[in-house]
Structure 1
Amino acid sequence: MAKPGYGKRSAPNQLPRTRADFALLPARERYVAGFVDHLPEGAAMSVKQLAKQLPLYGQQAISSALTALSVAGHLRRVRCAVGTGDKMRWVFRTFWSRTAHDNEWWQAYLTAEHAAHTVSPAPEAPAADSASPPWGPDQEPPPPASEEPGTEQGLEPTPVPHQRTPVQAPDSLPAPPVPALRPSEAGPSPAYLALARLGHEDHRLPLSADDCQELEAQAAEWLARGVSVDYLVSALTAGLPAKVDTPLGLVRRRLTDKIPPRIPTTPSTAPGTPAPPHRILMECTDCGRPGQPEALPDGLCRPCRTTHHPDTDETPAPPTEAAQIKAHMTNLRGLLKTV
């Protein structure tokens, strides 16, 4: 079996299994097709693994048999990009069909598979909509609460006694603004603590509480740009003159002149950015060249198709060009493994 996500995938619209399956294929292709057809879902489909399980043929013979089965319309190989960001990798899958299909069927099926991977899932309905009401099926729902106490059923409003706890505002009304707390009430911020550490790190920068509160906004801008508190303290205390007459003015000047640059957020790491759609690329069964399904009829690229069908109008590639193409594809496959 292959790793989860890899290996064999059965295509739909297959006829029931009979003894006459693959009867029109040559002996080698019929032998390989019968073995592959009985493999479970997710089984390893690489040439090396199949050669280990089929002792009658080697890797080269198995590769040629798979190419012939692709031309006959029984299989297609694809690669799918899964994951996001640095964790994205290519997953190789082999779609198998006991019933042979033409290029148009495979193209439509792989296009539908690509669309299924790119469509984002529909948002789930909120749980509150499906929740059952608090009253029973034979009970009537309670009447809506009136906006003012004592006005229900024509009653006169009654004065509400003084409460120590404030009444909670309705959800429809905006919440009153919360007054900002001073550092002494809400606790000192990291920027305030960094400024307060300057006098302890170097006696030439003693800042008072009012000085720290005055410079707190500038120091907070440093921390907002991704630096740590230790970096801020070391940047403000590095290279001080022998005597500092006005510590407040010196720290203010350094906070302005030595502020670090703002690092732009890349689209792949920006919060709230939707993940890129998963791509599905079909690859040549013979050489592994990726491409769209319409560009790989019979599951083969143009050079491989010309080699296996010499009676076509396409001229075969020269030996030097074919060697360059194979070297280029080997390099691409090596780069894909490092992603």
Structure 2
Amino acid sequence: MAAQHFSPALPASAEGPRAARPGYGKRSAPPGQDAPRPADFTGLPERERYVAAYIDRLPDGAAMDIKSLAKSLPLYGQMAIGSALRALAVAGHLRRVRRRVDGEGTCRWVTYTYWSRTARDNEWWTAALSGPTDVPPQRTAPEPPAPPKPPGAPSAAYLALAGLGRREPRLALSATDCATLEPLAAAWLARGASTEHLTAALTAGLPEAVTHPLGLVRRRLTDKMPPHLPDAPGPANGLRVECVDCGRPGPAAALLDGLCGPCRGSHAQTAAPDRAGGVAARVAGLRGLMRTP
């Protein structure tokens, strides 16, 4: 089966796929996709074909975050994997969705990545994600990843700030800097932003030289703070699509090609799909987008 999708020169990690945290990870799209065949994904460039073939083989519940995929596919780094996932969303193979889960006085957001071996257009995805979707029921008992935070354990906001230096060396922060900025970053997460959205907002469009990372990050956290929106009735299935690029959530009909308006606009010149020409024409329009970073 592997020979149908993988080039011998593109080996995956021997560790195999990683399981996602409960409530996260890969989910197969609603029924109707074609059976596996050797010609799957042949219309995509090599990198996207390789990543798509690997994802297609993953079982439901496997980790689909960029870091886990990059570790399982060592040929490509995290930036390349992120670009490939964005391109696969535009090509119609995947969508990311978020669901709010309430229980025992707490609330958390879980992220699924819906995958379709058959490329689908925006209308199909909107209908599929707006109607009843096969989402596994949430357990009432506490999940292992979400116990009370032990004293001294870093928060998600702190970890996002601490990881900035790995994503962008110009924004390397000290432990004191992270502690100082943690309340601002936590406010982002409390307003529904994902850590990926937070990181993207802080690292995008940096000046060539950053002499004071603490001040720059503080300014961006303050100036780009997302609005606080009251909880609104969501779709019947409790799902909202999440931008594959920046993580911003929204209704399925508003995130065409799996991208929010600003991210779609930033890639418009290199990935202008011909919707009248169908999926094949749209994939052809991805050639410029799918460059290896």
Q: Which has the larger radius of gyration?
A: 1
